[in-house]
Structure 1
Amino acid sequence: MPPSMQHPSRHVWDFWYHFDAEAKLFHIFYLNADRALVSSGKHHFASTVGHATTPDFDSIDWGDEDSFNILKPSPGHWANTSIWSGDVIKVKNGYLMFYTSRDRNQDDGLTQSIGVAYTDNLWSTQWQVLDTQINPSAAYQTKSLDGDLTFHAWRDPFLFRRQDGCIDMLVAAKTSAGAVGCNGAIALLTLATADFPAAIRGEREWNYLAPIAQPCCYAEMEVPQLYKNSRGSYELVFSTWAKYDFAPATAGQGGFQSLTLPTSGGTSEETISFSPSSQDFQVLIPESKGLYACRIVPELDGEIIGFDSQAGGIRRSGIKTKFEAMNRDFSDLIVVI
């Protein structure tokens, strides 16, 4: 595999991006922390969001000394701890970042929610953090449980649009039903397009649909995404550590995995046949290859790119899936903040 691209002074892991097609430039948003915290695992609880750019993921411009801290916890906000993985989309009057964070005063301090931030300029070093807080419904664990293999999960949002006028969001979650330790799931939330601006301001609740995946064989299904494959079907992808992978088809390899979702009589998002209980998973890259929290990058022939789980930094895999993007064009929507 190609070498990992390292920040000059920070430990870097999960990332997400927005591609500026006109400038042919990827804007990368990444989790980062002081390298001194990595050996103790404390970097997860001190992470902020940084901004970098690249034309091709072969080299990265990490910006200046302000660029690694564009979104950070605010003492007076519910998101008053570290920031975890998110998503970024372009709307007509700017950009929205959906991110994960926690309130240190709630439960054990590990209960997660989805928040929203706004900027009118992707190069900004200061995003406007909104009060919006998207919490799990009763169908999902609302806090950590004793005896679980991992703590609470309600994180890693990923948005796309359907032709029927709805906006969907995937979230890494745990179902409230099922065996503890095997109830990792991927939640599916939806909104009518007309309700999206109000939901961004926290004035409208998302609708909680049945999970897109609840296979009862993972402790966690992290960083979920959805893409189209060359056969006209859809690929639900996610990451999991090998020690939390109990799927019959994966031999406990963990890593970056996929589930093919067939269509029923068409090729639009409305005809996706969700199979929540399916365990027919495919390992795209096993954990042993040293990449985690991978993203499919359709602009680069669907190449799989993740973070180096040993040394940190962002690394190409060289594996090109040819997967295509869902509709992630939100540029017709105006959001009044």
Structure 2
Amino acid sequence: MHTPPPVFFRPEAGWVGDVIPYAEDGRFHLFYLLDRRAENPAGMPWHRVTTDDLVTFIDAGLALPTGTSPDSHDHNCYTGSVVRDDAGVHHLFYTAQNPVIRGADGQPLQRVAHATSTNGMATWTKHPEHTVGAPAGYESADWRDPFVFRHPDGRWHLLLAARHTGGAERRRGTVARLVSDDLVTWAIADPIWDPRRYVTQECPEVFEWNGWWYLVYSEFSDRFVTRYRMARSPEGPWLAPAQDTLDGRAWYAAKSAARNGRRFFFGWIATREGHRDDGAWLWAGTLSILEATQQPDGTLTMAPAPELLASFTQDHAAQLGLTKGPLTALDGYACVVSENELPQQFHARVVVDIEEGTREFGLLLRCSADGDTGYVLRLEPHAGRMVLDRWPRRSTGPAQWQISGDVPQILELERPAHLAPGRHVLDAVVDGDLAVLTLDGVVTLSTPLYDHSCGRLGLFVSDGRLEVVEVNLTQRPA
């Protein structure tokens, strides 16, 4: 039996780390850090995958190799960016690091390195003489993730995840800036954003969209998450939207590229140690793409691209056997579960109409026939959030009371959500151990799913009433 193509890209040789997207002539070139997770890694290179349709991915393999000797300054080639100058030459800026090359503080140096391509990014020529380290006032071990863009002043600006040498240990992070006329000689300028809030702001990027400027970054101080700020100028002041996260804990280091007036974010869904839901989060995972929609007030909402959803063309709703109609539990809990199990890869789309005062409702994914075990995408109007829960939760002993009922969901996996009475649409794109869950096309939560590998689809309501209006299940053709 033929199997459908995978929904999410992951290379055969390892895992996708930070993605460096670059769009040209309608094609997305997705450079990424290849994490081999080897016991004795031979450095971290850049690899590249391309896509024209956001559905089909062509793995182009090695793009930027690591340094050729043990003492190369770029034993590890970490995150950066790609731009093309007015002469058509492509410039690649990346973080060069070698664990054995250390600064005055004893920590491995991080420096900005430069490479160019004159053959359409097929190969790159490194220019070690252009390497730039942290100047006085900045920690030399945090000088990474260079992002280069053309500023309205006509010059090239280069942003960095950096840290001041002075100040509170956890709050020295800044988005440092260099400026240049020729992409070769750089001068230090004032930081573009200096919040004194985080350890550092990783993978910063700036772009303009319909009169708004956006600063996107990832942080691991308050939470592991990708956030954004808004301004009317690239010089700020930068404003925090009410909901400033793009996704949850499992989708990290997202950066964007635009095509035909649309903007797409490319991040990775993290893996967990031991492939267990309770396993520690690991760096790197599987590529996942979300499209941003700009709202009238300039804020951004996130959802899978329509092209991805449209690739699920085979209707299997009838085979699922899930009852539509009212579901009521005014003072308790009620659920309805499909007659048959879900396939390993699917797009489920469910429309519900909730009555005012309903406390909780949501989807059951890969659940048992009675709905008592599996994953729970729980919507909580009273708390204004969407969370991922599971049952059974972790147990610390054999007694009933030793189930961890005081850990009400996988704490890192929740998103703020507006849940007014009326109709709501729930989309679940699942492929094996990965899921992207979306509410009303505006709030998305990505996650790995390990402990429950099969099961049924269900819906539930707690302390309220809803009507199941639509249930659709589609698959990709093999």
TM-score (norm 2): 0.52
1 CA distance for matches of 2:24 and 2:201?
29
**Deviation, structure 1 residue 295:** 1.3
Distance change in 2, residues 1:69/1:20 (3 Å) = closer
Structure 2 match to 1:60: 57
Q: 2:80 aligns with which of 75, 79, 86?
A: 86
**Deviation, structure 1 residue 133:** 1.0
Q: Is 1:160 the counterpart of 2:173 in the alignment?
A: no
Distance change in 2, residues 1:128/1:121 (3 Å) = same
Q: Is 1:273 the counterpart of 2:269 in the alignment?
A: no
Secondary structure of the residue aligned to 1:105 is: strand
Secondary structure of the residue aligned to 1:89 is: strand
Once the two structures are superposed, residues 257-294 of structure 1 have per-residue CA deviations (whole angstroms, 9 ceiling, x without a partner) of: 1122234xxxxx5xx3345xx77785222442x11110
Q: 2:28 aligns with which of 26, 29, 34?
A: 26
Structure 2 match to 1:110: 108
Structure 2 match to 1:13: 17
Q: Cα RMSD over matched residues?
A: 2.8
Query: Residue 94 of structure 1 aligns to which amino acid in structure 2?
Result: V
Q: Is 1:50 the counterpart of 2:47 in the alignment?
A: yes
**Deviation, structure 1 residue 55:** 0.7
Secondary structure of the residue aligned to 2:245 is: strand
Secondary structure of the residue aligned to 2:244 is: strand
Q: 1:94, 1:120 within 8 Å by CA — same for their partners in 2?
A: yes
2 CA distance for matches of 1:109 and 1:233?
38
Q: Is 1:128 the counterpart of 2:122 in the alignment?
A: no
Structure 2 match to 1:187: 176
Structure 2 match to 1:98: 93
Map 1:198-209; keep pairs closer than 5 Å.
200=184, 204=185, 206-209=186-189
**Deviation, structure 1 residue 254:** 3.7
2 CA distance for matches of 1:306 and 1:189?
25
2 CA distance for matches of 1:157 and 1:80?
14
Q: 1:303, 1:321 within 8 Å by CA — same for their partners in 2?
A: no
Distance change in 2, residues 1:164/1:317 (3 Å) = closer
Q: 2:21, 2:257 within 8 Å by CA — same for their partners in 1?
A: no
2 CA distance for matches of 1:187 and 1:281?
25
Q: 1:215 aligns with which of 195, 198, 208?
A: 195
Q: 2:230, 2:240 within 8 Å by CA — same for their partners in 1?
A: no
**Deviation, structure 1 residue 319:** 4.2
**Deviation, structure 1 residue 78:** 4.7
Q: Is 1:307 the counterpart of 2:268 in the alignment?
A: yes
Query: Residue 115 of structure 2 aligns to which amino acid in structure 1?
Result: A
Residues matched between the structures, number: 274
Secondary structure of the residue aligned to 1:181 is: helix
Structure 1 match to 2:252: 292
Structure 2 match to 1:257: 227
Q: 1:88, 1:97 within 8 Å by CA — same for their partners in 2?
A: yes
Higher relative CO (Cα under 8 Å, sequence separation at least 6) belongs to: 1
1 CA distance for matches of 2:8 and 2:62?
18
Structure 1 match to 2:217: 238
Q: 2:263, 2:291 within 8 Å by CA — same for their partners in 1?
A: no
**Deviation, structure 1 residue 109:** 5.4
Distance change in 2, residues 1:233/1:318 (3 Å) = closer
2 CA distance for matches of 1:227 and 1:113?
24
Q: 1:187, 1:213 within 8 Å by CA — same for their partners in 2?
A: yes
Once the two structures are superposed, residues 113-170 of structure 1 have per-residue CA deviations (whole angstroms, 9 ceiling, x without a partner) of: 000011212352x42111221111213112xxxxxxxxx3111111111233221111
Q: 1:170 aligns with which of 141, 149, 159?
A: 159
Q: 1:12, 1:31 within 8 Å by CA — same for their partners in 2?
A: yes
Distance change in 2, residues 1:157/1:46 (3 Å) = same
TM-score (norm 1): 0.72
More strand by share: 2
Distance change in 2, residues 1:176/1:56 (3 Å) = farther
Once the two structures are superposed, residues 52-104 of structure 1 have per-residue CA deviations (whole angstroms, 9 ceiling, x without a partner) of: 211133221003xxx23532123287524211001111232521110101242
Structure 1 portions without partners, runs of 5+: 143-151, 246-252, 264-268, 324-337
Distance change in 2, residues 1:118/1:281 (3 Å) = farther
2 CA distance for matches of 1:212 and 1:157?
13
Q: Which has the larger radius of gyration?
A: 2
Q: 2:172, 2:198 within 8 Å by CA — same for their partners in 1?
A: yes
1 CA distance for matches of 2:195 and 2:286?
31
Once the two structures are superposed, residues 18-64 of structure 1 have per-residue CA deviations (whole angstroms, 9 ceiling, x without a partner) of: 2222xx21122110032445xxxx76x8311112211133221003x
**Deviation, structure 1 residue 297:** 2.6
Q: 1:304, 1:317 within 8 Å by CA — same for their partners in 2?
A: yes
**Deviation, structure 1 residue 216:** 1.5
2 CA distance for matches of 1:70 and 1:106?
23
